[in-house]
Amino acid sequence: MSGKWRNGIRKLLESKETMLILFLSGILLFVIMLPSGKDNRSYDKERNETQSQDLTTDNECDYCNGYKEKLEDELEEFLSGIAGVGKAKVLIYMDSSQEYIVEKDKPTTSGTDGERSDMTVEETTVYTVNSDGDEIPFISQTKMPSVDGVVVAAKGASKEIIRLQIVHLVMTLFGLDANKVEVLPLG
């Protein structure tokens, strides 16, 4: 049986058409493997941007955590100074991360067509150049993350009047609904 296969392959390789197909396939593989002449700068730039975005996200998380901790510390200190509250511990939950508002140009064009006039507004992002010479969107405003919920544990929270005062204070400070504020007695 192996002799039949060997003879079949030998006959196949002896034909001119098969040799031409193999030769052309080799050339095709060679062309595919050739460098495109395009340097890898765009790939490197993409990779660096992704890495810098990851670093930005990490730095942003650190910044947001610092912001959250500052709010918690300020609220703890303030609550501890209120008569009847005593020592307080605060835990704040943030809704999301920082939000960046990108500057946009809004050129308007107007045209008249006899009876009616059309006005079109086209927004385009405003870019600035960073120290590396890369164009980046111009950030006109940064919004801090919003507070989504607050838990307060306080010594005086076992008294209903103190608990209500704390709930109203937190609702007022952070613009929250009552169901997003929980006050517990500190043990």
CATH number, domain containing residue 163: 3.30.300.30
Last residue of a domain, one of 143, 161, 179: 143
125 falls within a domain = yes
Q: 117: pLDDT confidence band, cut at 50, 70 and 90?
A: low
- For residue 176, the model assigns a pLDDT of 92
User: Are 49 and 130 within one domain?
Assistant: no
- For residue 61, the model assigns a pLDDT of 64
- For residue 160, the model assigns a pLDDT of 94
Distance, CA of 61 to CA of 95 (rounded, Å): 13
User: Are 46 and 92 within one domain?
Assistant: yes
Check if the beta carbon of residue 152 is closer than 8 Å to that of residue 88.
yes
Q: Is the pLDDT of residue 96 over 90?
A: no
Distance, CA of 83 to CA of 165 (rounded, Å): 11
Give residue 175's identity as a one-letter amino acid code.
Answer: G
- For residue 155, the model assigns a pLDDT of 93
Report the domain count for the chain: 2
Of 41-50, 55-64, 145-154, the poorest mean pLDDT is in 41-50
- For residue 36, the model assigns a pLDDT of 61
Place of tokens 């942003």: 60
Instruction: Please give the mean pLDDT across all residues of the chain.
Output: 76
pLDDT digits (tens, 9 = 90+) for 17-34: 777 777 788 788 777 777
Q: Is the pLDDT of residue 184 over 70?
A: yes
User: Are 83 and 151 within one domain?
Assistant: yes
93 falls within a domain = yes
Q: 63: pLDDT confidence band, cut at 50, 70 and 90?
A: low
Q: 132: pLDDT confidence band, cut at 50, 70 and 90?
A: confident
pLDDT digits (tens, 9 = 90+) for 66-95: 888 999 999 999 999 999 999 999 999 987
Q: Which of 82, 91, 62 is nearest to 174 (CA)?
A: 91
Q: How many other CB atoms sit within 10 Å of the CB of residue 156?
A: 21
- For residue 157, the model assigns a pLDDT of 92
- Provide the whole-model pTM: 0.50
User: Are 48 and 123 within one domain?
Assistant: no
Give residue 169's identity as a one-letter amino acid code.
Answer: L
Q: 80 lies in which domain range?
A: 40-98+144-187
User: Are 58 and 138 within one domain?
Assistant: no
